[in-house]
A and B are shown apart, each in its own frame.
Chain A
Amino acid sequence: MTTINPCSAELPGTLGEAMPFLCRGAVVTLQSTLGGSVLAIAIALVVGLMASSRLRSVRGVARVYMEFFRGTSVLVQLFWLFYAMPILTGYQFDKVAAGILALGLNLGAYGSEVVRGAVQAVPPAQREAAIALNFTPYQRMRHVILPQAFVAMVPPMNNLLIELLKTTSLLSVITVADLAYQGRLLVNSGSDQLIVFALMLVIYFLFSYLITLLMRFVEGRAGRLVGRERPRRRRSAPAVEGAR
């Protein structure tokens, strides 16, 4: 059986017409998703921990950030970063950079809430035990609290990353050539709408599914880390893993 390149222009009919463009767009969508995710997770960790701080002022700063970015829509933020901010500061972002920044800031704010909630859900006895063992605050966080909180973060983070993927479609509005952009371009230039939209939706769905699979893997790993599951005896036992 010969493998068929799904992005080939030699596919029959509308497929051959659309897929090369959609694939190019899909790559941009993946790149912005990845960039946005990295930024969002980094922000979520920092701000989430700040929001769990004992210092009122630190908590306050985190709170303001979170409320601000959760309070407005991404599209407005994106527009502001790309079109409005340059007038104010004289600095013009590249459109992909502006997009990734908006995604990261917005979803990062939601992620902070996830991190804060997860840290708070770690039983206080754990913190007390760590204090009793004379851990430094950093050690407490790094070795006791975070590993446990991490497990609780994964499922809501999965949802957030899917939201982020979906939100990348808004970058098309500032003419980033992502999947949504390429699809709309194809439709405007006369390709069969129904087929193009169906293909776009399916590609987005597959990406969402990919994220879920990835996060499930991470969840399994994280779970094992804190002993939620039987630890594997040996490192190299994938057969057992599959059979379970």
Chain B
Amino acid sequence: MTTETQPGNASPAEADPQWMIRFDKVVKRFGDVTVLRELDFHVRPGERVTLIGPSGSGKTTILRLLMTLERVTSGTIEVDGQYLSHMRRGDRLVPADERHLRQVRKKVGMVFQQFNLFPNMNVLRNITEAPVRALGVPRDQAEAKARELLEMVELADKADEHPSRLSGGQQQRVAIARALAMEPEVLLLDEVTSALDPELVSGVQCLLRDIAQQGNLTLLCVTHEMRFARDISDRVLMFDQGQIVEEGDPEQIFTEPTHQRTRDFLQAVLGA
């Protein structure tokens, strides 16, 4: 396990390989609005976790914090034993600088609701840009890898295409390939099928199911598709108002939720 801290300085938590993701009393406020209240939760390496709950309950914020797109108000987050938004200086924790952030971001990848492909690059370049610029992979090597990934997402023939000429589903598959090209240990999926036309949803979901089953990727997924959540995850967390209301394996949550708020929520989304 790689850590930046000196061996003698590492706390037990940091050396603990048991958790890939660790939230410790995380609070996130936007102005007056508290989105996360003292949130604790842990994810094991290779575990596939889905976050469900009404919109505004803070699920997406969790992903954005992990991707360092937001910073915690207080509390700490660790990814693979490394502090995310903090770093150690001596025996104190200080806010992370850009170098530290770039170091920990290597482990995390994210797929967005709106794909966010770069419109000024073709499909291949979208996938190779980050490995080449951020990891220093030689371009030909990065391209070979990108073509493999495109093969996997069944878009091998679209390598030279411009993103705007692809359907939403195809764009999202490219975005998934792009994230995987960085070989992250944690993949964050932020409502990845919400912006897709209904008929394109299942293709993307199948692909993600395959990815989930193949690798030892740790998955953290926010979705409103309960079937998908059930298919893809080992564990489901039900969120409400910035806190975990209930958690358990998918079967239990979806068939016999114990908490009233979970029942209300499921009823609302499943229309049952």
Direct A–B touching, Cβ under 8 Å? no
Measuring CB to CB, which residues of chain A are less than 8 angstroms from any residue of chain B? none
Measuring CB to CB, which residues of chain B are less than 8 angstroms from any residue of chain A? none
